Structures are given as C-alpha cells and as structure tokens.
Amino acid sequence: MKRALLPMLLLLAHPAFADTLAIGPHVLVDGDPSGKAQQLLGKPDNIVRNQNRFGVTFSETWEWYRDGKTLRIEMRAGKIEGIRGAR
C-alpha cells in the first residue's frame, strides 16, 4: 500500500512542476503571453525558429544572454511553452 501511494502522489502533483522564472517582483510561467516576456526581459538577443521536416515552423526559441548565462524560452502560438536556463 505504501509503495502505491508515492507514485500516485507524484502523478497528482505533476501540474505543480510548471516552468517558472522570477524577475524581480514579477514571475513568468508557462502559458503567459509572449508580450509579457518581452516586457520583463526586453528584446531577445536571438530567435531560433523550430521547424519540422517539411519546413513548417511549429515554435520559436527566444534567447537572452545575461551575466554569462543563456535563458531560453520556447514560444508556441504566442504563449510560453517552456523556460530553460543554461550556463
């Protein structure tokens, strides 16, 4: 019974693991519009268009370079799909 409880709790808590980014007193989360990202972070330093094998763009990855780190936000249909940071 105890072994079955932990996986069940993890499945129920899965939506709580959404990507977030704190910028001062503001927070960016999955589903926010792309304009909010530009308002808080400024114009992206690079925009990469992600295409399928037929050449159709299905999303864009916006990149900002700050303090030796790269912040990547994937945009799909004008909304934030994912937030990643790298050194």
CATH number, domain of 59, equals 3.30.1450.10
63 versus 21: the higher-pLDDT residue is 63
Q: Considering its fold, how many domains does the chain have in total?
A: 1
pLDDT average, residue stretch 61-83: 94
Distance between CA atoms of 47 and 86, rounded to whole angstroms? 16
Whole-structure pTM value: 0.75
Over residues 13-61, the pLDDT tens digits come to: 545 556 898 888 999 999 999 999 999 999 999 999 999 999 999 999 9
Whether residue 10 is contained in a domain is answered as no
Its domain, for residue 67, covers 18-86
47, amino acid identity = I
Is the pLDDT score of 3 beyond 90? no
For residues 28-59, one letter each, b for 16 or more C-beta atoms within 10 angstroms of the residue's C-beta and e for the rest, the string is: beeebebeebeeebeebeeeeeeeeeeeeeee
Q: In what order do the strands lie in the sheet with 46-51?
A: 46-51, 57-66, 69-76, 79-86
69 versus 15: the higher-pLDDT residue is 69
